[in-house]
Amino acid sequence: MLKNPSKIEISHLAKTFGSKVVLSDISLSVPAGQSLCIIGTSGCGKSVTLKCLLGLLAPDSGSIKIDGKETVSQSRTHREEMLRRFGMTFQFGALFDSLPIWQNITFRLRQNTYLSNQKAREAAAEIVVQLGLEARVIDQYPAELSGGMQKRVALARAIADKPEILLFDEPTSGLDPITGGVIDNLILDSVRRLGATALTISHDMASVRRIADQVAMIHKGCVIWSGPSTQMFDSGIAEVDQFVHGHAQGPLTDEAILAAKTGV
């Protein structure tokens, strides 16, 4: 335990929007240097958990500790310090479409330190080449790139500042299987090279199998199963089984049908 302390420790997180309970009791922990994938059906609270972790949303109760330090309701200055250690890729990239690629990638570097345009362009070019893109894309704008290229640029922006913690929101959604596989490898590679701790939201099981050390499944705002990714196919929990095998029938879909019928 001491050898591999928790980098991220989330306990009893709860969040309600109006009368809708999104998170009721989320407890997760990610050991340093490990990669955790959170899986679950759409709207189960995965993204909200991630937003709470980033401090974009304030949870109603519960605690989130990074390196043992509480981050819920921390001051703005502390939060900014914390965010510098994070690299985040958003589901749809969230690249700044008014800025060329090199400015996107070096955005934070240039916020925090003085960097000449020449140096920034060189740094950006180095990263995009690492991620298998041609160096000339740094002068293009996000809208000119394909979906797969945008994901790579988003990854480039996340790792440019060499963060300790990498967060990925559906890194392979909307990509063909081959590009998805390439992105997975790039993620694995970057995480390993930086020695970072990774937390990924995904419902692409092929991708989860490739990039996760640990898997946690969220259902109805609670963690219903967590364990090593090698064991997710024999968890013994019906909901997890249905999800990881992608069966059309099972407890997850029965609940949805029942809810639609009774209006609950």
Residues that bind another protein (CB under 8 A): 51, 54, 56, 80, 83-84, 86, 88, 90-98, 107-108, 111-112, 157
Residue nearer to another protein on the CB measure, 96 or 250: 96
Residue nearer to another protein on the CB measure, 93 or 221: 93
Residue 71 Cβ, how far from another protein at the closest point, in Å? 13
Residue 156 Cβ, how far from another protein at the closest point, in Å? 13
Residue nearer to another protein on the CB measure, 97 or 234: 97
Residue nearer to another protein on the CB measure, 136 or 162: 162
Residue nearer to another protein on the CB measure, 7 or 110: 110
Q: Is the dihedral of CA 220, 226, 231, 235 positive or negative?
A: negative
Residue 161 Cβ, how far from another protein at the closest point, in Å? 8
CA-nearest of 53, 90, 54 to 170 is 90
Residue 92 Cβ, how far from another protein at the closest point, in Å? 6
Residue nearer to another protein on the CB measure, 112 or 253: 112
b (16+ CB within 10 A) / e for 190-215: bbeebebbbbbbbbbbebbbbbbbbb
Beta-carbon contacts of residue 17 (< 8 Å; ≥ 6 apart): none
Question: How many C-beta atoms lie closer than 10 Å to residue 230's C-beta?
Answer: 12
Structure tokens at 225: 């199963």
217/252 Cα distance (integer angstroms): 12
User: Where does residue 152 rank: exposed (0-12), middle (13-18), buried (19+ CB within 10 A)?
Assistant: buried
Residue 147 Cβ, how far from another protein at the closest point, in Å? 14
Structure tokens at 59: 């949870």
Do 35 and 29 form a contact (C-beta atoms < 8 A)? no
Residue 250 Cβ, how far from another protein at the closest point, in Å? 30
142/93 Cα distance (integer angstroms): 9
